């Protein structure tokens, strides 16, 4: 078996994620609190056709862990939807930490606002309703972001990355969701969002300003650190 660079590749050691295995993983992760559980439930109830855009349940504790791990104080989220991931990260921030949440939907983010208030972290989250690239370009150009979470329109990923990287402090992280795009990234004929993700993955892997690892978490997560 040969990899895309031509080197030999060993067989995958990944364990198939059955329903039982997934339940086992969740049972051994930090549990969601009541505000998080309620938000997940209301998202599926109110937006059943769009609920797949919500970050997976195991990603909430992962993002919170990364915030705490690097001592993040300034977080940026590109793509907020109903606010689950923003909630998890804001709860992990210190009391004077800030999270700028970028989205274009007042309807979806209204549910996030309610959950953030219930959890007592509204004062840590600044929601900016506007095209995210405009929001990012309006931020200070100097490195000041500790962690960014990218989970928005896939065609915009490279543009968002290019705005975030210069503003990321050395040692800061960019966490990117959906980098496997339902397995379609291996399709040579991929189009639309799948093609955009393939192009982004190549772009991120080649960026010498960053060191990145791609993980088979949920629909694929890349964690990149600024050198």
We report the CATH number of the domain holding residue 66 as 3.40.50.150
Q: Which domain holds residue 148?
A: 58-226
Whether 36 is covered by a domain: the verdict is no
Whether 90 is covered by a domain: the verdict is yes
Q: What is the pLDDT of residues 9-34, one digit of tens each?
A: 567 788 999 999 999 999 999 999 99
Q: What is the pLDDT of residues 147-205, one digit of tens each?
A: 999 999 999 999 999 999 999 999 999 999 999 999 999 999 999 999 999 999 999 99
Q: How many domains does the chain have?
A: 1
Whether 148 is covered by a domain: the verdict is yes
CA 73 and chain centroid, separation: 17
Whether 103 is covered by a domain: the verdict is yes
- Per the prediction, the chain carries an average pLDDT of 95
Neighbouring C-alpha atoms within 13 Å toward the C-beta of 219: 18
Q: Are 41 and 34 in contact (CB under 8 A)?
A: no
Whether 216 is covered by a domain: the verdict is yes
**How many whole angstroms separate alpha carbon 131 and alpha carbon 207?**
24
Q: What is the pLDDT of residues 98-150, one digit of tens each?
A: 999 999 999 999 999 999 999 999 999 999 999 999 999 999 999 999 999 99
Q: Are 69 and 223 in contact (CB under 8 A)?
A: no
**3-class DSSP string for the chain:** CECCCCCECCCCCCCCCCHHHHHHHHHCCCCCCHHHHHHHHHHHHHCCCCHHHCCCCCHHHHHHHHHHHCCCCEEEEECCCCCHHHHHHHHHCCCCCEEEEEECCHHHHHHHHHHHHHHCCHHHEEEEECCHHHHHHCCCCCCCEEEEEECCCHHHHHHHHHHHHHHEEEEEEEEEECCCHHHHHHCCCCCHHHHHHHHHHHHHHHCCCEEEEEECCCCCEEEEEEC
Does the pLDDT of residue 1 top 60, yes or no? no
pTM, to two decimals? 0.94
Q: Residue 197: which residues within 8 A CB-CB, separation 6 or more?
A: 154, 157, 178, 179, 180, 181, 184, 185
Whether 37 is covered by a domain: the verdict is no
Whether 207 is covered by a domain: the verdict is yes
């Amino acid at each position: 078996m040969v990899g895309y660079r031509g080197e030999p590749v060993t067989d995958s050691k990944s364990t198939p994620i059955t329903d039982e295995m997934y339940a086992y993983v969740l049972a051994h992760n930090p549990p969601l609190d009541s505000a998080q559980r309620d938000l997940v439930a209301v998202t599926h109830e109110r937006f059943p056709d769009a609920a797949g855009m919500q970050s997976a349940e195991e990603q909430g504790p992962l993002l919170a862990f990364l915030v705490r791990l690097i001592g993040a104080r300034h977080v940026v989220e590109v793509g907020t939807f109903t606010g689950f991931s923003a909630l998890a990260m804001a709860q992990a921030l210190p009391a004077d930490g800030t999270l700028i949440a970028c989205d274009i939907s007042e309807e979806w983010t209204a549910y996030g606002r309610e959950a953030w208030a219930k959890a007592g972290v509204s004062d840590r989250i600044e929601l900016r309703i506007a095209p995210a690239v405009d929001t990012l370009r309006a931020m200070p150009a100097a490195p000041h972001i500790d962690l960014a979470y990218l989970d928005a329109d896939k065609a915009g990923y490279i543009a968002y990355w290019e705005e975030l990287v210069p503003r990321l402090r050395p040692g800061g992280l960019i966490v990117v969701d959906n980098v496997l795009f339902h397995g379609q990234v291996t399709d040579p004929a991929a189009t639309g969002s799948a093609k955009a993700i393939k192009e982004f993955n190549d772009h991120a892997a080649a960026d010498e300003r960053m060191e990145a690892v791609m993980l088979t978490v949920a629909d694929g997560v890349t964690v990149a650190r600024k050198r």
